[in-house]
Amino acid sequence: MINHPYFSITSIENNLMLIKLERYIEVNDYVKLVSLPKEPPNENTMCMVSTWAYNTCDISKDPDSLQNVNISVISKTNCHNAYKSYDITKSMLCLGIVPGRRRPCKEVTAAPAVCNGILQGILTFTDGCVLRADVGIYTRIFNYVPWIENTIRNN
């Protein structure tokens, strides 16, 4: 695993890592490629977010159900209103429905946000539930494309 050089466990900034595979993988019906962004998504762009949800009857077991939800990119202002105690920076992106009061649920973070076939975000934090379209803070992949491409090229 290759962490972003400025990643810190105490921050939601630069929350990105790459996984180095031992060998090349074959693209097939179960393994697909996703494009990196050439530009950031616009507000209201619809994205599909996939995450593993836990069985609510037994959360001690590993998540057992991959689920998808279509939610849209929201403005930095609406994101800040949802998370007043967080500094929403240019390297972050928010998706979801402008919130009321959120109820937590049990799902896996690091969910990808794919917008029109392009990986635009990776879920960093939510105090709600992405599968209910609560607002989540995502790492804005566009800002990290040079680092991603350079890291792949040199590893």
pLDDT in tens, the chain (155 residues): 999 999 999 999 999 999 999 999 999 999 999 999 999 999 999 999 998 876 555 556 666 778 899 999 999 999 999 899 999 999 999 999 866 556 667 666 789 999 999 999 999 998 888 888 889 999 999 999 999 999 999 99
In a domain, 104, yes or no: yes
Task: Say what the pLDDT of residue 101 is.
Answer: 54
Long-range contacts at 75-79 (CB < 8 A, ≥ 24 apart): 75/43, 78/135, 79/135, 79/137
In a domain, 13, yes or no: no
The domain total for the chain is 1
CATH code assigned at 51:
2.40.10.10
Task: Say what the pLDDT of residue 154 is.
Answer: 95
In a domain, 53, yes or no: yes
In a domain, 149, yes or no: no
HSE-CB of 71 using CA atoms within 13 angstroms: 31
In a domain, 115, yes or no: yes
Neighbours of 81 (CB within 10 A): 14
In a domain, 87, yes or no: yes
DSSP H helical ranges for 1-155: 76-82, 145-154
Task: Say what the pLDDT of residue 150 is.
Answer: 98
Q: What is the pTM of this model?
A: 0.89
Task: Say what the pLDDT of residue 51 is.
Answer: 86
In a domain, 114, yes or no: yes
Task: Say what the pLDDT of residue 19 is.
Answer: 94
In a domain, 86, yes or no: yes
